Amino acid sequence: MSELKSIRLDGTITLLAPLSHIGESTGPDSWLSQDIIIGPDGHPVECFVYSGNAFRGILRDLAAQYMLDKLGGMRLPLDAFYLLFSGGALGGQQSLDIDQARMYRRNIPMLSIFGGGVGNQILNGKMKIGAMYPLVEECQRVLPQYLRQENAPSWKQWTFEKSFTRMDDAKNENRRTHLAQDALPAAEPTLALGDADPETGEVKPKKKEKDAPQQMRYTVEMLAAGAVLYQRVDLVDMADTELGAFVSALAEVSKNPYIGGKSGTGHGLCDIEYTWRPAGTNEKPEKFMAISTNTLWLSEPAEQAKQTYDQFLLSLYNQYLEDNQAELKQLMGGSTK
């Protein structure tokens, strides 16, 4: 077995499009998520922070999808599906003993990285992923020394509000021809008569229930394109296959390098670059990998780890499936297409 590695990654995320990452909403309007940070003057201040949990969720989904695709589109029972994509859930009578935990880590490296709930116990993950902090005045204390700036702007100078309109296409005469006759909204809604008032005899129209509004205007607070954020990721006691599973998930991001919401309208497009060094050392960081739209650069250690993981999936896992051996069947309970 290869030597286990503990690695620190330092990442810079550069926005190529405005970022939406909603915290609070008021009616149709929404605002950027904020955390409390101790500012340079020692006082607490609110500041936008992109959740590490949000990025962790992206990576977990990509890691699970990558593994299952490499296994020929393996289909899973619901519990195993939730375990890989959502981390599972605690509950039930199943217990996880040390030998079984080791079997999970040995046979499902991505689960070893992200962890999960199995029965009534938790399988701890080996990845510690931090939030993304903008390089602004309020975050100076939490940024590494080489990214601190004396005259950094306030985060509010990097934000703006953007309004959107959702149209009611059923009212567009050019599109109404595609609606069924009984689905056409009435041009002038008629009111049905109600029952007569028992005292006055007056008949009043019934109140018509309003349809859900299809046309609306809403506003979203965003972090401007060009903003740069910092993120720290710690990988603890990683085997080569585990590091390869992590690199593979990050590599998948290059196919769709978006974070935050409203990616369907191009928001959250970004470039990502990580440097790395052994954890607990002061060695000079080296470039580990870089991600942009359909472009991926891997350092030699990252490339080797990914190749090791790919070989692991293609050979060992496929051998398990072909031989129908008990360990994988017990862990996943899945089938292939």
Q: 295: exposed, middle or buried (C-beta count within 10 Å: 0-12, 13-18, 19+)?
A: exposed
Determine, yes or no, domain membership for 94.
yes
Kindly report each contact of residues 30-35 with a partner whose C-beta sits within 8 Å and lies 24 or more positions away, as own/partner: 30/218, 30/219, 30/220, 30/221, 31/221, 32/159, 32/221, 32/222, 32/223, 35/131
CB atoms closer than 10 angstroms to residue 22: 14
Contact indicator for 233, 13 with CB cutoff of 8 Å? no
Asked if residue 311 belongs to a domain, the reply is yes
Tell me whether residue 210 is in a domain: no
SS3 244: helix
In a domain, 235, yes or no: yes
Supply the pLDDT for residue 283. 84
User: Which structure tokens are listed for 170?
Assistant: 């059923």
230 lies in a domain?
Answer: yes
* Structural domain count, the chain: 1
- Decide if 279 contacts 8 (C-beta within 8 A): yes
The answer to whether 24 touches 32, Cβ cutoff 8 Å, is no
Report residue 315 as tokens.
């050979």
Is 296 within the bounds of a domain? yes
Q: Has residue 92 been placed in a domain?
A: yes
Domain assignment present for residue 57? The answer is yes
H or E, element range at 61: helix 52-70
| Residues whose CB falls within 8 Å of the CB of residue 297, separated by 6 or more in sequence, listed in order | 289, 290, 291
Spatial neighbors of 197 by CB under 8 A, at least 6 apart, are: 203, 204
pLDDT in tens, the chain (337 residues): 467 889 999 999 999 999 999 887 777 778 899 999 999 999 999 999 999 999 999 999 999 999 988 887 777 788 788 888 988 765 555 555 556 666 777 788 999 999 887 766 778 899 999 999 999 999 999 999 999 999 999 999 999 988 877 665 555 565 556 666 665 565 555 555 566 666 666 666 665 555 555 566 778 899 999 999 999 999 999 999 999 999 999 999 999 999 998 888 889 999 999 999 988 888 889 999 999 888 899 999 999 999 999 999 887 666 655 655 555 556 665 555 5
d(CA 213, CA 26): 17
150: Cβ–Cβ under 8 A, 6 or more apart, which residues?
Answer: none
Rounded CA-CA distance 333/182 in Å is 48
Helix, strand or coil for residue 142? coil
Tell me which residue range forms the domain holding 301.
5-18+52-130+225-330
